[in-house]
Amino acid sequence: MTHEEIVQKLPYGPPFLFVDRITEVSQKHIKGEYMFKDTCDFYKGHFVNFPVTPGVILIECMMQIGLVSLGIYLLRDKNFDLKSTATVAVVEHQARFLKPVFPNENVTVVSDLEYFRFHKLKSQVKMLNAAGEVVCQGVFSGILKPGDAKS
């Protein structure tokens, strides 16, 4: 499975797709990037005179790259379709925010797998800014549940 195929299989679309590209992937690790463009609607009202990316959006970006994209890769041989017959559920996250992310900032998300069994995926995930500084990190887990087969 190519990096582009992983992104195409994500069950998100603009304006809620927070993955520009996957740069590395293996059975135990994934790395991807996203640019928070200043045209994103949430900047219009989140600290009007000093726009900052909301923490919930940072978590979503980390989940899309660090869990869902990795899960798609791990399930690549199982005909697993998140866009039509499967669901993704966040089970838990423990995030720590260390630095702000501003408009037009490019971030890199790195995820190291702790375990994947019974469709539950748990990873150590961190987000880095362009200077390589950790802006957010945490332990994230979710369930990638296959849907019922269509008749």
* 3-state secondary structure labels for all residues of the chain: CCHHHHHHCCCCCCCCCCCCEEEEECCCEEEEEEEECCCCHHHHCCCCCCCCCCHHHHHHHHHHHHHHHHHHHHCCCCCCCCCCCCEEEEEEEEEEECCCCCCCEEEEEEEEEEEEECCEEEEEEEEECCCCCEEEEEEEEEEEECCCCCC
Query: Is 46 assigned a catalytic role?
Result: yes
Catalytic site residue from 3, 29, 46, 93: 46
Task: Cite the active site residues.
Answer: 46
